[in-house]
Amino acid sequence: METIFALASARGKSGVAVLRISGPRAHAVARAMAGTLPEPRQTALRTLRNASGDALDTGLIVIFNAGASFTGEDVAELMVHGSLATISALESCLANDHGLRLAEPGEFTRRALENGVLDLTQVEGLSDLLEAETESQRRQALRVLDGAIGKLVTGWREHLIKAAALVEISIDFVEEDIGNFDAQILAELDLVQAQLQREIAGQGARERVQSGFEIALVGSVNAGKSTLLNALAGREAAITSDIAGTTRDVIELRMDIGGYAVTLLDTAGLRETEETIESIGIARGRKRADEADIRIILCDDPEAPPPIAPKSGDITLFSKADLYSDRPDGVSGLTGQGLESLLNRIQTELESRVARDGVTVRRRHLQAMQNAETALSLAIEKLRSAEYIPELVAADIRHAMTALDALIGKIDVEDLLGDIFASFCIGK
């Protein structure tokens, strides 16, 4: 196993930079540069020198023993001054004087996976944490990084192993009167299936926390959609005018609402028109609005019905509330009236969608759980039939456990690793 190194902090001028070294020679190289090493997990101030004895910098050094480090290997970290010249001199010393190799993107994390320090879902959680832009994304990614999915899968596997053992007993002792274990087997499988179904049901909202929710502003022409978008954005993100049909295409605006990543969609005003370009824009707007997680339906006439029929989760408001002082439940992009209330309603709606307990967040997780749930459904169906073949039930249970093993990365993940680690920086 090669010993690798990389800058673990952002490249560029900084007050402090961190160089990470991992592999069997990490401690020896650190000792050669620093003279003496502190006790593991304790920092010490040292002057770092190259092979010629020239001082390169003075900084803190900390070492971690194999089995008690991020990668699972011997690790040394050098905390030095973050000038470009200092980093270049230290990297040159590590590569040329000591023959170490510069780490590839995500290689430290990959070694953590290979050494059993992290499972695949924790690697994905780390990736999501590094990319987190909102508070909800940070919290969700941190739960995954802390091993929440692995713990959940471990619990499921324990129940499945117990059920599989009871099935095997009935196969091995088929000719002996040892009793009927069908009720116990069904209880174990039903428990896991119910938990899988609950986890699957909340998957969509949790996945949206990472990718972002879409909220469409919908209304008739000149209903104030673009003005409201600009007010929410705090800038002129969309062109506004009194001319009907100003918005022709869907305008997207990314923002943070209550700690949730949200993309606001300003759609073309709804009306009947023979103008070709505008009609295309209206059709596109309708399609995006139908696919959105939430629609904010704006009604500029308090006496008229909404321009489209609201559905569950939609928010219907009177726009241009500045013109209707007797409508305190309205909103105005011009004066800001009702904006805070609207943002609170959006946050409450988003919170209700992610309130279900659950930890899985990626489409890959969903597919693995669906595969496991399908296998369990087949096993349960066989057990509840008048007669069943135990060997086939055992095979279904094994298929369910295989799907769960794939979820946490124990099997069949090599083709995924390249895509996952491609998003990592070199120092991670």
| pLDDT recorded at residue 282 | 67
Question: Which architecture does CATH list for 4-114?
Answer: 2-Layer Sandwich (3.30)
CATH 3.40.190.10 fits 126-202+360-409, yes or no: no
pLDDT, tens digit (0-9, with 9 covering 90-100), for 152-199: 999 999 999 999 888 887 776 555 555 567 889 999 999 999 999 999
**Do the Cβ atoms of 7 and 426 come closer than 8 Å?**
yes
For residue 269, the tally of other CB atoms under 10 A from its CB is 26
- Residue 315 clears pLDDT 70, i.e. is over it: yes
What are 77-132's pLDDT values in tens digits? 999 999 999 999 999 999 999 999 999 998 999 999 999 999 999 999 998 998 88
What are the start and end residues of each CATH 3.30.1360.120 domain in the chain?
Answer: 4-114
* pLDDT at residue number 286: 77
210-353 adopts what CATH topology? Rossmann fold (3.40.50)
- What backbone torsions phi and psi does residue 385 show, to the nearest 5 degrees? -80, 165
Q: Is the pLDDT of residue 416 over 80?
A: no
Domain with CATH 1.20.120.430 in the chain: 126-202+360-409
Confidence of residue 237 (pLDDT cuts 50, 70, 90): low
Are 43 and 30 in contact by the 8 Å Cβ rule? The answer is no
Q: Which two tokens stand for residue 403?
A: 């799907």
Taking the C-alpha atoms of residue 140 and residue 403, their distance in angstroms, rounded to an integer, is 23
Place of tokens 């605006």: 253
**CATH 3.40.50.300 domain extents, the chain:** 210-353
How far apart (Å, rounded) are the C-alpha atoms in residues 428 and 422? Answer: 11
Segment among 28-37, 50-59, 95-104, 304-313 with least mean pLDDT = 304-313
Amino acid letter, 112: A
In the structure encoding, which two tokens stand for residue 370, read together?
A: 């669906």
Q: What is the phi/psi pair of residue 25, to 5°?
A: -100, 5
**C-beta separation of 256 from 133 below 8 A:** yes
pLDDT at 25: 97
Q: Residue 283: pLDDT above 50?
A: yes
Q: Tell me how far CA of residue 72 lies from CA of 67, 101, 103, 143, in angstroms.
A: 5, 18, 16, 21
What is the phi-psi region of residue 9: left when phi exceeds 0, alpha when psi lies from -120 to 50, beta otherwise? beta
Q: What angle do CA 93, 94, 100 make, to 5 degrees?
A: 145
- pTM of structure: 0.77
